[in-house]
Structure 1
């Protein structure tokens, strides 16, 4: 489909979305909020901004004081009004991956569009820019075609395209993904100019938020559009937004304010009088959903699972029978906040982290199919529910957990300090400040730990769900994370005699809290006899493992290792598994 046909299709979609735009305007008038969307979109967006640290803890607390009503929209609005100091630096990094696509004509390089790197050697652009392998074979991409910081003339680098090695295109979605040949010295374009990872996760942007475009309009040197731009409508596969664009911008990345790619720009929407009403881009999630599994693997993305109208209750995933000789088994036990997720996708994410650690340790990678992945996420409810539990006894446990964690992180016993809130909110604020994670995320983790420890029905449901996906016999290396470490301790008291546990690994565990270990099925800090070696790995900035090291309570029963995870991902299981010490310990036990 050529550019004119794409423009006509975009105009038809824009006309068809007239009622949606009217509905958005009515909601804005009713709420007094400019940034509006469906409740699940708003919740996912606010949670993503909070978890990534885009909105500061102090800002969230200030907005919370204004009341619970429309709190999430206020959080998102704050992210649009105030940018962190690294906004420009992150934008500069994202911009370098954008190149000018050219084709030769009479010895000249004629610009035909824009493209950007989404992997070290993969360029994403439009189908109407590179419709087939022959056009890609005759094309090049120029990186660095921009004025320097001192307005000096640009010096750019040209790379040939290699469609014979990789070429995937879709005229309907108007995208082309093509291999970029390495430079003469063997280095990839991504090594020199970086790349932007594509993310399918919900919550990257909602209606009313700003968008930023980077491209080569009319073949000029690289330009950026960051003023008076916003997302106006979300369709199933496309986004509409306001922005100044021109021919040649086709294939430009559309970024949110965190410089994550949300769409691939491909067309303007023409009006009746020759004006332009809006712009249209293809949603990143739509492109990823259309790509084959091997391409997704190169992009570092798990294959996407289409959501059904009714929620799907997932069961665990067994390993293939031949894994590790069929007698030794790797079992992953996840933490909280996984309701509705696909266990196969989660298993791939855990293995991806482990494979990074194995690579650093000089060991061969593992296959996702070699790991058992019990799943209990759907027994704990929706992770977007209120962080605080409603049941009175569970609320008591929840407050004890947070108070103890805050005390162990250095909060004064009387809970008072100038400028700091007292009580539960003060304890959460202290933990957030001590760990640089948002207090909403911290509260949600401890809520689910409290629910498991206090409610016998929840505990039984979780343990039963895990037991349904375990090998019948042999040796299991049990790797657990967060709430999963608490579940693992209880599970070890119930395993059949046919299963041995030569190694238990706990990652980011709350087992150092008195309020946790005294409520275990063992009745205290007592390692179950079924566990052979026990390795506990913790990060000092992880609020869930704030009671570590464990040896104060679990005296002489555990080997421990402190690690340094990235500050904003201190509780991330993939970061824990990526440490070579952890990877080596697992492989030793399995081999």
Structure 2
């Protein structure tokens, strides 16, 4: 489908949404809010903003006191109004991966569109820019085609494309993904210019928020569009937004204000009088859903919904064979909320926390390559439809977890002193007040714990992902965090006999809750026989470990230590690992 056909299709979609646009405008006028998306979209967006630290917990608390009934809209609105000082620096980093696509004609390189890197050697653009392998094989992409900070002339670098190595395209969704040939020295384009990871998960943007476009309109040097732009409508596979664009912008990334890619720009939208009334981009989630598993694995992305919940990329990172003599192994087992993350980066973060603790204890540090890091984050990909799970049975487990945790935190049985907040919302509010953490974060943790405990397909997918990245024999020092501590308890019931576990460490664990214990594969608070010593470390301000210490239920089975974690990082794994007592115990069993 050529560019003109795409424009006509976009115009038809725009015309079909006339009533929806009128409804949005009425809501804006009635509420005085420009954020007017559906509740599930706004909830997911607010959760992501809080998780990324874009909106502080203090801001959430202040807004909650002012107007609890509009809390989520106000969180998103504040994010759109105020940007951190590093907004431009992060934008500068994100846009280096944007290049100008050219094709040869009579010895000249003619610009035909824009593209951007979404993996070290994969370029995303429009189907109408590169419709087939022949056109892609004749094209090149130029990175660095922009003026320097001192307005010096650009010195760009050209890369050839190799559609025979990797090529995927879709006329209806108007995207093409193609391999970029490495430079002469073997370095990929991504090594030199970086790339932007694509994420299918909900929560990247809502109607009324700003968008930012970066491209090469009319083949000019790189330009950005960051003023007077906003998302105006979400369709199933497309986004409509207001922004200044020109031909040549096709294939540009559409960013949110956190510089995450939300869409692939592909067309302007003409109105009935021929004037341009909007722009249209293809949603990232739709692009990912149309890609084969092999390319998804390379992108480090997971589809929004699949027939199977099995992960689509490698489970994680094995340790080097010589670490700790080759017979003792350090295995990290992460918690929830890691969808789309790089296991190698996570492993470095865990080791950084551990090395801080080792340094404070006066002990030698370890290398990231010394630890095994099974990864199961991409198995928990259910979009956030609300604070609670969509499944009725999982919702019951979730409400039991939250209610029990709030009771252990001192919430009155009849919910007094909570004003309008009752039931699970009141319990979350109580936990947030007791621990100084945002209720959205608390809800997200317990929601994923509930999904793991209630849904056998989720449990099996998680355990299978972990088992794919474990040593085959020897002694394992197993260090787990948050939901990972629940996974660890189940894992210990099915490890091969050749693996011994001289030390189990659980950090920030919900194992103190009856609703968790009764649903473990062990059938209750029973430490598996293969575990030599069990060290549980908890923080009084951590809402996930609110049922600790564990001695009441796990009598005589566990050694415990309370950690004085900072309030704003009370559940952070690096804070737990940085305690000298934890680091000392780990190294003692490893060496």
Q: Same fold by TM (over 0.5)?
A: yes
Q: Which residue of 1 aligns with 2:156?
A: 156
Q: For residues 296-375 of structure 1, what are the structure 2 equivalents within 5 Å? A: 296-306=296-306, 360-361=368-369
In 2, are the aligned partners of 1:431 and 1:439 still within 8 Å (CA)?
no
Q: Which residue of 2 aligns with 1:198?
A: 198
Check 1:364–1:42 CA distance in 2 against 1; reply closer, same or farther (3 A cut).
Answer: closer
Give the whole-Å Cα distance in 2 for the aligned partners of 1:491 and 1:198: 31
Deviations 1:18-74 (A, max 9, x none): 122122122223322111111111111111111111111221111011132111011
In 1, are the aligned partners of 2:218 and 2:248 still within 8 Å (CA)?
yes
Give the whole-Å Cα distance in 2 for the aligned partners of 1:283 and 1:488: 37
Check 1:254–1:169 CA distance in 2 against 1; reply closer, same or farther (3 A cut).
Answer: same
Give the whole-Å Cα distance in 2 for the aligned partners of 1:568 and 1:2: 51
Shift of 1:361: 2.7
Check 1:481–1:29 CA distance in 2 against 1; reply closer, same or farther (3 A cut).
Answer: same
Q: Which residue of 2 aligns with 1:213?
A: 213
Shift of 1:191: 0.7
Give the whole-Å Cα distance in 2 for the aligned partners of 1:510 and 1:288: 34
Matched, 1:397 2:408: yes
In 2, are the aligned partners of 1:167 and 1:179 still within 8 Å (CA)?
yes
Give the match's secondary structure for 1:183: coil
In 2, are the aligned partners of 1:144 and 1:155 still within 8 Å (CA)?
yes
In 2, are the aligned partners of 1:43 and 1:384 still within 8 Å (CA)?
no
Matched, 1:138 2:135: no
**Stretches of structure 1 lacking an aligned partner (at least 5 in a row):** 317-330, 339-344, 372-376, 402-423, 453-457
Q: Which residue of 2 aligns with 1:288?
A: 288
Q: Which residue of 2 aligns with 1:19?
A: 19
Give the whole-Å Cα distance in 1 for the aligned partners of 2:541 and 2:197: 26
Q: Which residue of 2 aligns with 1:31?
A: 31
Q: Which residue of 2 aligns with 1:508?
A: 507
Give the whole-Å Cα distance in 2 for the aligned partners of 1:34 and 1:119: 34
Give the match's secondary structure for 2:9: helix
Q: Which residue of 2 aligns with 1:100?
A: 100
Aligned Cα root-mean-square deviation (Å): 5.4
In 2, are the aligned partners of 1:501 and 1:532 still within 8 Å (CA)?
no
Give the match's secondary structure for 2:258: coil
Give the match's secondary structure for 2:184: coil
Give the whole-Å Cα distance in 1 for the aligned partners of 2:112 and 2:453: 62
Shift of 1:274: 3.4
Q: For residues 167-182 of structure 1, what are the structure 2 equivalents within 5 Å? A: 167-182=167-182
Give the whole-Å Cα distance in 2 for the aligned partners of 1:459 and 1:265: 37
Give the match's secondary structure for 2:78: helix
Shift of 1:6: 0.7
Using structure 2 for the length normalisation, give the TM-score: 0.69
Deviations 1:183-230 (A, max 9, x none): 111111111110000000001011111100000111111100001101
Give the whole-Å Cα distance in 1 for the aligned partners of 2:461 and 2:154: 62
Give the match's secondary structure for 1:65: helix
Give the whole-Å Cα distance in 1 for the aligned partners of 2:10 and 2:498: 60
Shift of 1:464: 13
Q: Which residue of 2 aligns with 1:235?
A: 235
Give the whole-Å Cα distance in 2 for the aligned partners of 1:221 and 1:542: 52
Using structure 1 for the length normalisation, give the TM-score: 0.69
Shift of 1:136: 1.2
Shift of 1:239: 0.6
**Stretches of structure 2 lacking an aligned partner (at least 5 in a row):** 312-330, 352-366, 380-388, 413-427, 465-471
Give the whole-Å Cα distance in 1 for the aligned partners of 2:218 and 2:127: 18
Give the whole-Å Cα distance in 2 for the aligned partners of 1:505 and 1:263: 44
Check 1:568–1:295 CA distance in 2 against 1; reply closer, same or farther (3 A cut).
Answer: farther
Shift of 1:441: 1.3
Deviations 1:218-251 (A, max 9, x none): 1111100001101111111011100000000000
In 1, are the aligned partners of 2:162 and 2:180 still within 8 Å (CA)?
yes
